Structure 1
């Protein structure tokens, strides 16, 4: 994929959600991240994410990343607002914008409506983790949460585990889970997969070959004792120490992997487990890059429980923006 050249006439472009959706698929993004993450992690500088409380329940996140490598000449910054109370307003809880610059000239290249970019990259990281950690013949996916991220997570897991034929959705508000199940049942691309909702999480956790969680919960939802033998637990929602989606038993039972080492400092499930002596940081089995490179072994057999905790990173944002931007530029050149 061609990288942009530096010219005095470079005009920033706006990449809308419609354009982004026409370019990205979870399958192509997972493939892109798998091939680019190991090298990009070496060439990219990613300062710690800034998390600022703008009110009692709202957060502003600033996520920068930059590289001077000729093959990846970008600076990217994402601004994210998290307003969990938006559900009562029938609005998404997460909004974001992303700005891409040329790292050698500092020129502004593109501005993204990054809400959708975030949904794609977050779910694709979970899908990539699942590729290494879930059982190859997984049949049942339990989706905990039914917000905007949930259908993306479902699609990402299905893209790497086409053996999944049953998806069970749970949400605190049962009507929302039922609405998502009904919507996905009617959508194209899910032939052969059944979608259903269930109002009792305790009853369905034990059915999941993969259990994926995307909530803003500050109280454990998944009880580790109920996870079935061979299950893969995908934890996406928490991004600060006060948040958690599973109990200590789930962490104790599983072989734990993280998307990056920041999770060891930010994820409430892990920080709490460290503090209580459930596991230590040394017990965490590895990062996603180590799995991709083969430095760490993922799933060892079909009976062990695996846990993947992601908190996101500027590296993945930039690589996702790279794929979209360079595709747009290539298409523009092709039309000339």
Structure 2
């Protein structure tokens, strides 16, 4: 069994290949998935398993220790790994760094959704949030949408957005900090949210026709980033019904309130990749909820293993 570390594999990957791998994975037999969450004193151990016939089996285990960031020196708050098994023999074949998988899975999921739903002529990207995921989103969207003309970053703390923008000074596509969220949303063709918000901050009234909204941050039942108007004004899609319904507040809270119904969801990635769903027209506002899931970890992990083995 091989260990695949972050530094070994990260330089070998690109966002186009990741998006393609996730799309190809959704053309395979439907994944069997399962989760196990253990918690003590605000700390968590999250275990996610997936099995896709012909692709393999994966078990991803990560610890979530929020207080690690305040240690001296700071430690990662999320740590773990993913074990890959051969589908034919059941033998373990690789242990892959969990941060590596999460980085490429999270933004890869979103840019595949955008590739399938956003207008190809999109020119302005707005990223809400200035954390680790925002770095990946800047790089992923600039690769998948090479005709982008500008990237704006908004954060509740403006200084943090300014620091992130400064990291990309001199880049091919300008990255700037946005001070006024409503103005930045109204100018954007694509809005991608990657925050830890529990209450909606993105308002549907700010969105112009044709905008694509990529919702990433809300991953717990009590979390939301978008208000009801974002959902009711839009054509709504998710990466997977099974990992969003009943699990993620962004979808389940408005379902419970009757603001939307299950039929409001026009499709998931399986439908989109099969050509069974898509945006209705250029002026439609589209929303894609990135819910994650072990099946996506498996698709990305299998690609990472292939790329590393091909590189020797």
Structure-1-length-normalised TM-score = 0.86
Partner of 1:328: 308
- SS of residue in 1 equivalent to 2:9: helix
Partner of 2:250: 269
- SS of residue in 1 equivalent to 2:147: coil
Cα offset, 1:87, TM superposition: 5.2
Partner of 2:37: 51
Assess if the C-alpha contact under 8 Å between 1:133 and 1:232 holds in 2. yes
Cα offset, 1:240, TM superposition: 1.5
- SS of residue in 2 equivalent to 1:312: coil
Query: Equivalents in 2 of 1:164, 1:203: separation in Å?
Result: 18
Assess if the C-alpha contact under 8 Å between 2:19 and 2:108 holds in 1. yes
Cα offset, 1:182, TM superposition: 0.9
Query: Equivalents in 1 of 2:14, 2:66: separation in Å?
Result: 26
Query: Equivalents in 2 of 1:85, 1:231: separation in Å?
Result: 37
1:79 matched to 2:64: no
Query: Equivalents in 2 of 1:203, 1:84: separation in Å?
Result: 33
Query: Equivalents in 2 of 1:224, 1:263: separation in Å?
Result: 20
- SS of residue in 1 equivalent to 2:26: helix
1:121-163 CA distances to partner (integer Å, 9 max, x unpaired)?
A: 1101100100111111111111001111112122222222222
Assess if the C-alpha contact under 8 Å between 1:219 and 1:243 holds in 2. yes
Question: Which of 63, 66, 70 is 2:51 aligned to?
Answer: 66
Partner of 1:4: none
CA spacing shift, 1:195–1:174, aligned 2, 3 Å: same
1:27 matched to 2:16: yes
Greater Cα shift, 249-258 or 152-161: 152-161
Assess if the C-alpha contact under 8 Å between 2:52 and 2:295 holds in 1. no
Assess if the C-alpha contact under 8 Å between 1:198 and 1:204 holds in 2. yes
CA spacing shift, 1:68–1:307, aligned 2, 3 Å: closer
CA spacing shift, 1:185–1:96, aligned 2, 3 Å: farther
- SS of residue in 2 equivalent to 1:123: helix
Query: Equivalents in 2 of 1:228, 1:322: separation in Å?
Result: 39
CA spacing shift, 1:307–1:181, aligned 2, 3 Å: same
Partner of 2:295: 315
Assess if the C-alpha contact under 8 Å between 1:20 and 1:117 holds in 2. no
Assess if the C-alpha contact under 8 Å between 1:127 and 1:159 holds in 2. no
Cα offset, 1:168, TM superposition: 0.7
The count of aligned residue pairs is: 309
Greater Cα shift, 91-100 or 124-133: 91-100
Query: Equivalents in 1 of 2:258, 2:204: separation in Å?
Result: 16
CA spacing shift, 1:86–1:142, aligned 2, 3 Å: farther
Assess if the C-alpha contact under 8 Å between 2:57 and 2:87 holds in 1. yes
- SS of residue in 2 equivalent to 1:238: coil
5+ residue gaps in structure 2? none
Cα offset, 1:83, TM superposition: 4.3
Question: Which of 265, 276, 282 is 1:284 aligned to?
Answer: 265
Superposed CA RMSD: 1.9
1:153-195 CA distances to partner (integer Å, 9 max, x unpaired)?
A: 2222222222211111011222221111111224xxx41x111
Structure-2-length-normalised TM-score = 0.92
Partner of 1:200: 180
Assess if the C-alpha contact under 8 Å between 2:9 and 2:308 holds in 1. no
Query: Equivalents in 2 of 1:83, 1:163: separation in Å?
Result: 39
- SS of residue in 2 equivalent to 1:179: helix
